Amino acid sequence: MVGAGFGGLGAARWLAQKPGIEVTLVDKRNHHLFQALLYQVASAGLNPSEIASPVRGLFRNYRNVRVIMAELTGLDAVRKIANLDGEGGLEVAYDALILSLGGETNYFGHPEWAQFAPGLKSIEQALWLRGHVLEAFEKAEKCRDEQERRRLMTIAVIGAGPTGVELSGAFAELRRHVLRWDFRDIHPELARVVLIEGGPRVLAAFPPDLSEAARRDLEGLGVEVRTGERVQEIGQGYVLTDKGRLEAHTLVWAAGVGGHPLAERLGLPTLAGGRVPVQPDLSVAGLDGVFCIGDMCFCAGADGKPLPGMAPVAMQQGPVAAANALAFLQGRPTQPFRYEDPGIMATVGRTKGVAVLGKRHISGTAGWFTWLWHHLLRIVDFQNRALVSLRWGWAYISWKWGVRLIHRGAGETQEIKES
């Protein structure tokens, strides 16, 4: 079992309850991370520890689960051995293997943009972004050059999927409600938050009426929403699109997530976008006893279209892959995976949201409550659920977001580890 995201955790938990099964869970991080809330860390609303839980703690009471913090570096599917930590590292023999490594930010052929416009997939990136934005306001307060001040106070988010929408909404509120009262020379509430999207509408995965509602809510928060605008070039502090050049001190790439780069290095089959194609039972064709789930896999839904890289997909795949791995070990036939769409949702600031549940389209405050409820439930441990509720409740009332710390200063974006 490799990867402690929603997919890997679910699979490990399912198997941990089967007598006689020994589970080894490998992850290069020591924590499970709720990536969908990373934007809250980046916008100073939450602490990293409130959306991340130590993996060992989650399996403390399962004596048949062994957790290893290590990086998968090699795979011998014939001898059934996984290599960890490269040369001189561990060799772990397996009977069945479930790969759930997640995805990585995809720059669509422009990896050099990563240094100027990082993605938002890890705690490091979120903390960097938080420090970078807060420090930009500090610099602007000291700055005497009006043009430079405007550049420092401009945030451009590229890509209007859920992450881009939620992040730009959170930054818009941060500047308008939280930072507004903190400065004397500058007016943070006038800072620009620009959301750039190549497609014709925000939240393309949602029905058009909800895209429209989300756009309205974003504009209500003062976000400049620019759809149908394609990025041509990104450099230090600017983005060039087919509509012109935008000077922005802070650039965030939320335009795409692809498969995991390790898939190719391990010799797994991959499709365009780097995802690993799986068979209906989530196994990888040609590799005996290897299953692949979550963002790293390419899994066709009932309509033949690939399932999106979202937590609910991985959460449903985990137990199915685990059951199929057990069936494989016991020589029983495996079952195909069928995705049951629990709906999709996104939040726009602290009071608005959009959600699709079955045939119902929900927007506005009701959409926000729907989002809140589902996301609180997905936080894996009780203490964090309580802390997040408390923090959100307090921030809701007071508009004092507590986590406005700059530390590690303004490191170069190159330094930030994504994974």
Residue 416 beta carbon to its own copies: minimum distance, rounded to whole angstroms = 9
Q: For 118-139, b where at least 16 C-beta lie within 10 A, e where not — what string?
A: bbbbbbbbbbbbbbbbbbbbeb
Residue 417 binds its own copies, judged by CB under 8 A: yes
Residue 357 binds its own copies, judged by CB under 8 A: no
Q: Which residue in 166, 173, 197, 229 is the catalytic one?
A: 166
Residue 52 binds its own copies, judged by CB under 8 A: yes
Rounded Cα–Cα distance for residues 80 and 124 (Å): 34
**Nearer Cβ to its own copies, position 127 or 321?**
127
Give the count of residues interacting with its own copies (CB under 8 A).
Answer: 56
Residue 405 beta carbon to its own copies: minimum distance, rounded to whole angstroms = 5
Residue 374 binds its own copies, judged by CB under 8 A: no
DSSP-assigned states of every residue in 220-261:
HTTEEEE-S--EEEEETTEEEETTEEEE-SEEEE-S-EE--H
Backbone angles phi, psi at 216, to 5 degrees: -60, -45
Q: Using CA of residue 282, residue 286, residue 290, residue 296, what is the dihedral sign?
A: negative
Residue 181 binds its own copies, judged by CB under 8 A: yes
Q: Which one of residues 48, 273, 308, 319 is an interface residue with its own copies (CB under 8 A)? A: 48
Residue 13 beta carbon to its own copies: minimum distance, rounded to whole angstroms = 16
Considering only residues 100 to 139 of the shown chain, the ones binding its own copies according to CB under 8 A are 122-124, 127, 134-135, 138
Residue corresponding to tokens 């997939």: 121
Residue 182 binds its own copies, judged by CB under 8 A: yes
Contact partners, residue 216, CB within 8 Å, separation at least 6: none
Residue 30 binds its own copies, judged by CB under 8 A: yes
**Nearer Cβ to its own copies, position 109 or 409?**
409
Question: What are 105's strand-pairing partners?
Answer: 257
Residues 27/4, Cβ–Cβ less than 8 Å: yes
Residue corresponding to tokens 């999709």: 344
Q: What SS3 state is found at 182?
A: coil
Residue 56 binds its own copies, judged by CB under 8 A: yes
DSSP-assigned states of every residue in 336-379:
--------EEEEETTTEEEEEETTEEE-HHHHHHHHHHHHHHHS
H-helix segments, 93-224: 123-142, 146-152, 162-173, 208-220
Of all helices (H) and strands (E), which one includes residue 14?
Answer: helix 6-16
Task: Show the binding pattern over residues 379-398: x = contacts its own copies (CB under 8 A), - = does not.
Answer: ----xx--x--xx--x---x
Contact partners, residue 320, CB within 8 Å, separation at least 6: 281, 282, 335, 337
Interface segment toward its own copies; rule CB under 8 A; list 256-264, 296-304, 310-318, 405-413: 405-413
Q: Which one of residues 21, 73, 80, 85 is an interface residue with its own copies (CB under 8 A)? A: 85
Q: Please confirm, yes or no, whether 166 is among the known catalytic residues.
A: yes
Residue 402 binds its own copies, judged by CB under 8 A: yes
Residue 82 binds its own copies, judged by CB under 8 A: no
**Nearer Cβ to its own copies, position 90 or 240?**
90
Q: Which one of residues 57, 220, 277, 301 is an interface residue with its own copies (CB under 8 A)? A: 57
Residue 40 beta carbon to its own copies: minimum distance, rounded to whole angstroms = 13
Interface segment toward its own copies; rule CB under 8 A; list 49-57, 197-205, 225-233, 313-321: 49-57
Rounded Cα–Cα distance for residues 80 and 204 (Å): 41
Interface segment toward its own copies; rule CB under 8 A; list 64-72, 166-174, 277-285, 311-319: 64-72
H-helix segments, 291-346: 311-330
Point out which residues bind its own copies (CB under 8 A). Answer: 29-31, 47-50, 52-54, 56-57, 60-61, 63, 66-70, 84-85, 89-90, 122-124, 127, 134-135, 138, 141-142, 179, 181-185, 383-384, 387, 390-391, 394, 398, 400, 402-409, 417
